[in-house]
Amino acid sequence: MKIKNNLKLFRDALGFTQETVSSFLGEKISRGALANYEAGTREPPLDVLLKLADLYGVELSDFYEEDKDKLQDALLFAFRMEDVAESDLEVIANFKEVVKSYLKMNTIAKNE
């Protein structure tokens, strides 16, 4: 599975449109550019992948994951959003980053 499949999988699973995601990514990334990333005709730059990982609440490596069970685990904490204001996307991305950090710390604490 290529990165393009996972980009679309995560976006669809969370209920985001390409327009909403491209707006979150900023002026440099148009809806057409996002469509090209999802179609596999262009590779997204690292800074775009990092922002998408924050928004989707996944790890950067999840975009490259081929194991469907691991992909399902990545989506376990995701929640579907509809009619989200574009101004709320940054807050949502930050919240998901906090949750990811908490889960990592919790895992580390359990292993010690």
State whether residue 26 is helix, strand or coil.
coil
Nearest to 48 by CA among 27, 29, 67, 71: 29
Q: Which domains does the chain have, with CATH numbers?
A: 3-111 (1.10.260.40)
> How far is 41 from 100, CA to CA, in rounded Å?
30
What pLDDT shows up at residue 49? 95
Matching residue, tokens 């262009």: 42
> How far is 70 from 62, CA to CA, in rounded Å?
8
**For residue range 41-84, what is the model confidence (pLDDT) as tens digits?**
999 999 999 999 988 888 899 999 888 888 877 776 665 555 66
What pLDDT shows up at residue 90? 73
What is the four-CA torsion angle of 82, 64, 68, 94, rounded to 10 degrees?
A: -30
What pLDDT shows up at residue 79? 57
What pLDDT shows up at residue 54? 86
**For residue range 13-49, what is the model confidence (pLDDT) as tens digits?**
888 999 999 999 988 899 999 999 999 999 999 999 9
What pLDDT shows up at residue 52? 94
